[in-house]
Amino acid sequence: MDEEVKTDKVDVKYLGRILKRIAPYKKLFLTALFLLIFSSVLSLLPPAIIRAVINEVIPMEEDRLRTFVLYMAGLAAIGLLTALLPYFYRSIMGTVGHGIITDLRREIFSHLQELPFEYYDTRPAGKISIRVTEYINELADFFTSYLLDAIVSVLKIIVGTVLMLCISPLLTAVVYAALIPLTVCVLLVKSAVRKLFRTHRAKNSNRNAFIVESIMGEKVIKNYNRSDYNQKVYYDLQEDSFKTWMKIVRRNELNAPVSEFFWNAGTLALYAVAFALLSGGDTAIAGTVIAFLLYMGLCSEPLLQITAILQQLAQVSANLERIYETIDTPVSIADKVDAAVLHDIEGKVDFNDVTFGYEAGIPVLEHFDLHVRAGEKIALVGPTGAGKTTVINLLTRFYDVGEGSVTVDGHNVKDVTLHSLRKEIGVLMQEPFLFRGSILDNIRYGTPEATDEECIEAAKRIYADRVAARFPEGFSSQLGERGEGLSAGEKQLISFARIVLKNPRIIILDEATSAIDSETELLIQGALDTILAGKTAFIVAHRLSTIRKADRILYISDKGIAEEGSHEELMARRGRYYALNMRK
């Protein structure tokens, strides 16, 4: 999935949505807005005061000094206020911006927790994480800088233009004769730069996704001696991004000579008109010209700033589009309004005429029927991609069936709450995932109310206490990211302990012993027999020793169940299961 957006224009829809988030902070925002307007109006008064001093105060014969001091005191007061007020309104907007960003970050993270597996299966982790981190971080500048600058710039242009028109409509026309073409030229440059920004952000997103992928696959990279290749790919991605950035820099630099040219042209035009007026007998023109030179600077700056802000707003809009694409992604697997709560189940499971595929038109299971008695142990074997894990995904409702139904104790899994369904099911994945924290925290992960003693007892039942015994601090020992410091087998033992502590009615072992050495597997096999006693179990395994004790073995192939029976029955048939055993 490419992060490049389809347009380089400012999408008012997304800006409107983010601005609505100001509502909870309305009082703070209005306070900041009042201070901002007051400061902006004050900043435009000095040119008018200077004009009055030159044209009216200096020619005075009486009270000239006292009047001059009063005007200067006014200028000093304005200077002090315009220096202090931005500190206050920017601080207030910083608080507002932080609150909005915090709310948005919580919303998108909470929504990501609710999205189905399908969302993650079709998007690289790096491109998901960048939306929660970098894109949202950049929105903070929107509230503390871009939004304020946009309001200030518009106010200065409007108020400044009104003041200039009150003084001299003719000179106002001269000023805008220079400012309008200047603004048009800058907008043209910015438009070209904006398109480059789109490309640059897309390349940065691809680079970040590659970094995350490389970090997650570091062991494979080293094992296959691909470090040099990965470095080359990264350098190429970085170089490509850098070249695009340099194009942006070079085009942005065109603004300086363009601005200088039109500024000088405007100044010369003002002098020419002033000379003509002076020749016509207008002796008060000196102060007016100085005032207009100052106003030209005060108005040209916000005009240029608005062009820059439009570019930034286009980028903010692009980021918001990606953020809201995530937030607006529907939660396709969720509780119905009247969803029932499963409790005290026996563990009976039925797949009724189920058809399902991860991609439209490509079914993995078709008209699949399976009926499992409460307490029955079912083993699933078959070729890779046949649908063994798919059966598990549908039972746990990680995915919803396309046709047919999956029921637990007669309850359609779509009609019960996800929390109550998954509370009754314990899943041990092929690749165990441990979180940063202590060994106890990881065992307690699915049962947060459990005591330390209960966690330790669960670990002992599955021999996971041997893992804790390796560390000086025992069960309180801290693990790194993804269980750093433990072997794959040790991670799996901790995951086993989680299931034991949770004590669900239905247990799923998806290649759960594949990472455990044969000696440890023999050790825990007896414990597993006790743990699985009386529970419904689905066992997906390549190690045939793990599944021989199952009540039924299902050979999954050709979108359904190709063979079914006990180990002895299937071996006697000399079919696919028999051939699989012979190969092992």
Nearest to 161 by CA among 306, 292, 305, 307: 292
* 289 touches 270 (CB < 8 A): yes
Nearest to 95 by CA among 10, 24, 163: 24
pLDDT per residue, tens digit, the chain (584 aa), is 445 545 556 667 888 888 899 999 999 999 999 998 899 889 888 888 888 888 777 777 677 788 888 888 988 999 999 899 999 988 998 899 889 999 999 999 999 888 888 888 778 777 788 788 888 888 887 887 778 888 888 888 888 888 888 888 888 888 788 778 877 777 777 777 767 777 887 788 788 778 878 887 876 787 777 888 888 888 988 888 888 888 878 777 776 677 677 767 777 777 777 677 666 655 567 777 777 778 777 777 787 777 777 767 777 887 888 888 889 988 888 899 999 999 889 999 999 999 999 888 899 999 999 999 999 999 999 888 889 989 999 999 999 998 999 999 999 999 999 999 999 999 888 778 888 889 999 999 888 899 999 999 999 988 888 888 988 899 998 888 878 878 877 888 888 899 999 999 999 988 766 656 676 667 667 777 778 888 999 998 766 666 888 899 999 998 999 999 999 999 999 899 888 888 76
* 557 touches 579 (CB < 8 A): no
pLDDT for the residue 1: 42
Residue whose pair of structure tokens reads 């942006």 in the numeric block: 248
Q: CB neighbours of 263 closer than 8 A, spacing ≥ 6? A: 178, 182, 296, 300
Give the bridge partners for 560, in sequence order: 557
Six-digit token string for 97: 């911006």
Domain chopping of the chain, boundaries: 12-327, 349-583
pLDDT for the residue 281: 59
Topology alike, domains 12-327 and 349-583: no
| Torsion over CA: 149, 152, 158, 160 (sign) | negative
Phi and psi at residue 26, to the nearest 5°: -60, -45
Six-digit token string for 218: 């570091």
pTM of the predicted structure, to 2 decimals: 0.70
Using CA atoms, how far apart are residues 85 and 89, in angstroms rounded to an integer?
Answer: 6
Question: What is the CATH architecture assignment of 12-327?
Answer: Up-down Bundle (1.20)
Q: How far is the CA of 80 from the CAs of 20, 43, 148, 285, in angstroms?
A: 34, 10, 20, 29
Phi and psi at residue 385, to the nearest 5°: 85, 5
349-583 adopts what CATH topology?
Answer: Rossmann fold (3.40.50)
Q: How far is the CA of 319 from the CAs of 109, 164, 208, in angstroms?
A: 16, 39, 15
pLDDT for the residue 87: 92
DSSP letter string over 278-345? Answer: HHTT-TTHHHHHHHHHHHHHHHHHHHHHHHHHHHHHHHHHHHHHHHHHHHTS--SS---TT-B---S-
